[in-house]
Amino acid sequence: MRDSPEARHAPATARNRDAILAVLRETLPERGTVLEIAAGTGEHAVFFAAAFPQLTWQPSDPNDDARSSIAAHAAIAGLNNVRPPLALDAAAPEWPITAADAILCINMIHIAPWSAAEGLMAGAGRLKPEVLFLYGPFRENGAHTAPSNEAFDGWLKAQDPSYGVRDLEEVSALAARHGFTLDRKVAMPANNLSLVFRGGPSDRRNP
Ligand SMILES: C[S@@+](CC[C@H](N)C(=O)[O-])C[C@H]1O[C@@H](n2cnc3c(N)ncnc32)[C@H](O)[C@@H]1O
């Protein structure tokens, strides 16, 4: 496969992509646009876009290097259903996109301030996708679910005290304030969870 210097690699994406894909196959709408928030290297974007050729994949990330990597992976993959990456900070009050049928956010809300989670939910509330999919480690019932997640939480907070493994209940309550209900919680490898939130009928789809 051709490669380019901009195309970065995150080894975790190769480890978790098949398990995530299995959940997405049961979750994503048949057609429409998937907005991926915090797409990082772009490896997930091209892998999932190849698996769902009938969907339009819209990757995004606020980081310039990440967007270069996403564009490089998209060019290498040569897929016609991946759009150029958007500069999108979830915490921003306005996003450079106004509609999506699904929103994906993998491994972001623990490695960003809580304001990013708040912005993510507020933005999802504005775009009103059918599905909001989150993936990552979560605390449940006020406790870590595994020693490895507790250690990771300590590492995150050492990087930045505003980071940290989030409480599932707090995330669900935040989602509910923006019109999303937790529909499915799927245990994933390495003590992660897939969370599938669903919104009510959207004004856009049901004018
Ligand atoms: C751990 S990486 C995960 C990347 C990718 N989703 C994956 O699973 O490999 C976290 C990503 O979150 C992005 N990020 C951090 N703060 C963000 C924010 N406020 N809005 C959107 N993305 C953000 C970073 O630029 C980075 O690409």
pLDDT digits (tens, 9 = 90+) for 158-191: 999 999 999 999 999 999 999 999 999 999 999 9
CA 25 and chain centroid, separation: 15
- Binding site membership of 171 for ligand 1 (Cβ less than 6 Å): no
- Ligand 1 center to residue 108 CA distance, Å? 5
At residue 201, the pLDDT reads 53
- Binding site membership of 59 for ligand 1 (Cβ less than 6 Å): no
Pocket test for ligand 1, best of 13, 15, 108 (most atoms within 8 A of CB): 108
Taking residues 18-45, what's their average pLDDT? 98
Q: Give the three-state DSSP class for 35.
A: strand
Which residue in the block uniquely carries the two structure tokens 């509609």? 99
Rg (CA), the chain: 16
- Binding site membership of 35 for ligand 1 (Cβ less than 6 Å): no
Vertex 198 angle, CA 114 and 22, to 5°: 95
Taking residues 87-98, what's their average pLDDT? 98
Give Cα separations from 54 to 82, 122, 128, 172 (angstroms): 11, 27, 20, 30
CA nearest neighbour of 32 among 128, 120, 105, 96: 128
- Ligand 1 center to residue 85 CA distance, Å? 13
Mean pLDDT (the chain, rounded): 94
